[in-house]
């Protein structure tokens, strides 16, 4: 019997809608739409469906995670932006989920200001990719799609 197509959600937090304009020397020149369009192409041969969500509002992201919990999504890729370093609410919401979660950062947060060195999510996610710019999203998709297709 053919397996159901797996669904992965890509969540982006505050200020990531400004990629391309925002500190390009740190975050690169590509817009979020360009990065997500590349992921959509990459997902086709991997046989996974992608859903996308970006918000500048912590509560809206928590609400989205609750929706994902009800929908039985197979995997999450999340760049929580600054919420990485501050949001117990996002951490608690992600703890609802049992699917693999990849935490992504365009920049290497450990090479930056000390307040960025602490991720409140790092110890509850499957893994973290940081410092590879937009390639980090592609790396995360390869890893999570293969992981869930094999499971
Ligand atoms: C970021 C790193 C965070 O510290 C920062 O607040 C962001 C982007 C990154 O992708 O490198 O908004 O998550």
- Per-residue pLDDT reduced to its tens digit, 127-147: 999 999 999 999 999 999 999
- Containing H/E element for 18? none
Any catalytic annotation for residue 85?
A: no
Say how many Å lie between the CA of residue 33 and the centre of ligand 1. 17
pLDDT at site 21: 97
Any catalytic annotation for residue 105?
A: yes
pLDDT at site 108: 98
Ligand 1, CB cutoff 6 Å, lining residues:
15, 79, 81-82, 84, 105-107, 109, 116
Residue 110 carries which DSSP code? G
Enter the pTM of the model.
Answer: 0.96
pLDDT at site 36: 98
Q: Which residue in this structure is represented by tokens 């790092």? A: 122
* Measured distance CA(53)–CA(48) in Å, rounded: 16
Summarize the confidence of residues 102-126 as an average pLDDT: 98
Mean pLDDT value across the chain: 96
For the four alpha carbons of 25, 116, 131 and 54, in that order, the dihedral sign comes to negative
pLDDT at site 124: 98
With 0-12 / 13-18 / 19 or more C-beta atoms within 10 angstroms meaning exposed / middle / buried, residue 35 is buried
For the four alpha carbons of 72, 75, 81 and 85, in that order, the dihedral sign comes to positive
Summarize the confidence of residues 45-62 as an average pLDDT: 97
pLDDT at site 151: 83
Q: Check pLDDT > 90 for residue 1.
A: no
Residue nearest to atom 12 of ligand 1 (CA): 81
- 4-23 burial, b at 16+ Cβ within 10 Å, e below that, comes to eebbbbbbbbbebbebeeee
Summarize the confidence of residues 25-54 as an average pLDDT: 97
* Measured distance CA(123)–CA(119) in Å, rounded: 8
Nearest to 10 by CA among 151, 137, 149, 128: 137
């Amino acid at each position: 019997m053919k397996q159901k197509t797996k669904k992965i959600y890509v969540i982006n937090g505050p200020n990531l809608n400004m990629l391309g304009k925002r500190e390009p020397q740190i975050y690169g020149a590509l817009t979020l739409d360009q990065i997500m369009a590349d992921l959509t192409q990459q997902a086709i041969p991997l046989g996974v469906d992608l859903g996308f969500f970006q918000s500048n509002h912590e509560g809206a992201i928590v609400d989205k995670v609750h929706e994902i919990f009800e929908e039985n999504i197979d995997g999450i890729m999340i760049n929580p932006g600054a919420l990485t370093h501050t949001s117990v609410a996002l951490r608690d919401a992600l703890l609802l989920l049992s699917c693999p979660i990849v935490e992504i950062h365009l920049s290497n947060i450990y090479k930056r200001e000390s307040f960025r060195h602490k991720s409140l999510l790092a110890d509850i996610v499957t893994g973290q990719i940081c410092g590879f710019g937009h390639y980090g999203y592609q790396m995360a998709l390869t890893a999570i799609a293969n992981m869930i297709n094999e499971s």
